[in-house]
Amino acid sequence: MLRLYTHASCLQHEPGPDQPESPARLRAVLQALDHDRFATLDRIEAPRATREHLLRVHTPAHVDRILATVPDSGTVRLDEDTVMSHGSAEAALRAAGAAVAAVDAVMGQGGKAFCAVRPPGHHATHDKAMGFCLFNNVAVAAAHAIAEHGLKRVAIADFDVHHGNGTQDIFARESRVLFISSHQMPLYPDSGREDERGVGNIVNAPLSPGDGSYEFRELWDGALLPRLHAFKPQLLLVSAGFDAHRNDPLADLRLGSEDYAWITERLRDIAEAHAHGRVVSTLEGGYNLLALATSVAAHVSALMD
C-alpha cells in the first residue's frame, strides 16, 4: 500500500512571483498523480505537527519565530531565498506533520508513503530557516521514529541536487541516523564535502556540474547504496528532490525521470531487505514544472511497484 499525504494549506504558502519555490510546484505534482495509474493511492489529509514534534530537532526560538511570523498581507523575508506569507506557518506545520503521520502509518501498518507537501525542509537547520525551508520535515520524521517507535537505525537518503545541510546539521552527532546524500558541488549551500562525516554517520557524495545518468548511478551503486545496505535501516526516509533533472533551472546536472525511477527502485529494495518495506518519502526541490511532474510520477510509480 502506498499512502499519499498532502494538504490544501501547502498551496497557501506564497513566497511571491520572484520565487521558484511556488504553489505551482505542488499543483503540478498533484495533477501528475491525478491519473488512473495512481487510482489506488490512499490519499490522506496531512495533520499539523505539534510543538513537541518540532522541538525534537529545532530550538524553541526557531519554532516560535516561524509560528509567530504570520503577516496579514504581503510577505516577510527571512533571508535572501526564504520568504513567508500569511499561510506559510500553517503550510510548514502540515508539511512536517505529514512526515510524522506517514512514519506512524508505516510503522503501525507497514507499506510506504509519499508526502506531497511544501515548503520543503532539508536546508532548515536546528535554529535557522534557509533555502526555501522553514522546518526540516524529514528530520522531524526521523526524530519521531526514534522517540516514539524506539528505532535504533533510521536512514535518510537525499538525492536533491542541493546538499541537505540542515539534515546534516541536526544529525551530525546522532549515530542512530545515517544520512547519505548525492548533490552537485559547487552549488548552494556550499556544504556536503566528502570529509564532512559527523560521527561516521554522514556520507556525502558530490557530483560535478554536467554529470548525468551514468555518473549518478555509478555513485549510488559504488558508494551510497552499499553503505545503506551495511547500516540495515529499520526505516528508510527519502528527501526526494527532483532538481537534478536536466531541465531544472537551478542546477547543472543532467538526470531524467528514468533516473528517479531507478534510484527509487534501489531504495525500495533496500527497505524490503532490511526495513520490512517501510519507506517514507517527502518532497524537496524541483523547479521545472514539467520535469518535476514527470519525475514525481516516476518516483511514486516505483514506490508502488
- The per-residue pLDDT for range 121-168, each reduced to its tens digit, is 999 999 999 999 999 999 999 999 999 999 999 999 999 999 999 999
When pLDDT is averaged across residues 202-220 and rounded to a whole number, the result is: 98
For the segment 75-124, what is each residue's pLDDT rounded down to a tens digit?
Answer: 999 999 999 999 999 999 999 999 999 999 999 999 999 999 999 999 99
Residues tagged active-site: 123
Q: Residue 1's pLDDT is what?
A: 83
Q: How many domains does the chain have?
A: 1
CATH of the domain at 293: 3.40.800.20
Range of the structural domain that residue 123 is part of: 2-304
Instruction: Write down the pTM of the prediction.
Output: 0.98
Residues in the chain: 305
More confident of the two residues 149 and 305 = 149
C-alpha cell at 86: 500569511
List the grid coordinates of 103: 512514519
Residue 305 banded pLDDT, cuts 50, 70, 90: confident
3-state secondary structure of 281: strand
Residue 13: name the closest of 73, 80, 91, 78 by CA: 91
Question: For residues 146 and 176, is the Cβ–Cβ distance under 8 A?
Answer: yes
